[in-house]
Amino acid sequence: MAEIQLGDIPIEIVQKNIKNVHLSVHPPNGRVRVSAPLGMEIDTIRVFVISKLSWVKQQQKKFINQQREAPREFIERESHYFQGKRYQLRVKYVDAKPSVSVNHKYIVLETRRESSPEQRSKILNEWYRLRLKSAIPELIKQYEKIMQVSVAEFGVKKMKTKWGTCNPAAQRIWLNLELAKKPPECLEYIVVHEMTHLIEPTHNKRFTSLMDLFLPKWRLYKDELNKLPVRHENWSY
């Protein structure tokens, strides 16, 4: 991967077997990336990016001003999110195996009194992982029928810069653990986005047309997802 500099903006350049140039700006800090056809001159790519510089700066400003969650300490009455809703954390001390549950107002974390914030974070993240893994299969099954594709495997993991990834050759998709905190329609959007890459690996016009076909409101869900607060430690579409 090459890189050019335009003023104070670094531009990542990836050249691959595609026909057109694609420019993208990624949260949380406005990282700029260009996908260009193999053999295209760097100076040609530079001129293309310069022509889009005002748009790049506009997107970067939007991400930089995006709301950030406060650092979490996993203490009583702290705010936490699940499926797009805000809950207060209740911490109950038990002399038993840790557990997490949710009701209309609280996420209840049962843990040992001596547990550290890091241990509480791990317990809660594992709960998020299990809830996400229980929601994803039904979405995959629904869209496999609609899209006439097959997902061989899916997984959930922490990601710093992406909501999801797809390996078309292996028919495998990965989803960001943070999606457990976001509204269900945002999870649906990312699942459909990654499954569409099983048909079209790049973000070209065909990909956009397929997204319009499979999930007509995807742009609305995309905007909703990218406007929501991102986690404090920086972690697009």
Co-location of 151 and 36 in the same domain: no
Residues 58 and 86 in one domain: no
Ordered per-residue pLDDT tens for the chain, 237 residues:
789 999 889 999 999 888 889 999 886 678 899 999 999 999 999 999 999 999 999 888 877 666 566 678 899 999 999 999 999 999 999 999 999 999 999 999 999 999 999 999 999 999 999 999 999 999 999 999 999 999 999 999 998 778 999 999 999 999 999 999 999 999 999 999 999 999 999 888 999 999 999 999 999 999 898 776 655 343 344
Task: Give which of 210, 134, 197, 130 is closest to 162, Cα–Cα.
Answer: 197
Same domain, 49 and 94: no
Q: Are residues 93 and 208 in the same domain?
A: yes
> Do 118 and 18 belong together in one domain?
no
Examine residue 152 and state whether it is found in any structural domain, yes or no: yes
Beta carbons within 8 Å of 103's beta carbon, 6+ residues apart: none
> Are residues 46 and 95 part of one domain?
no
> Which domain covers residue 167, as residue numbers?
79-227
Same domain, 88 and 60: no
Same structural domain for residues 140 and 207?
yes
Amino acid at position 141, single letter: K
The length of the chain is: 237
Residue owning tokens 């995309």: 222
Do the Cβ atoms of 34 and 12 come closer than 8 Å?
A: yes
Number of domains in the chain: 2
- Regarding whether 125 and 100 lie in a shared domain, the answer is yes
Residue 70 lies in a domain: no
Same domain, 53 and 147: no
Q: What's the predicted TM-score (pTM) here?
A: 0.74
Closest CA to 234 of 159, 177, 184: 159
Q: CA dihedral in degrees (137, 141, 146, 147; nearest 10)? A: 70
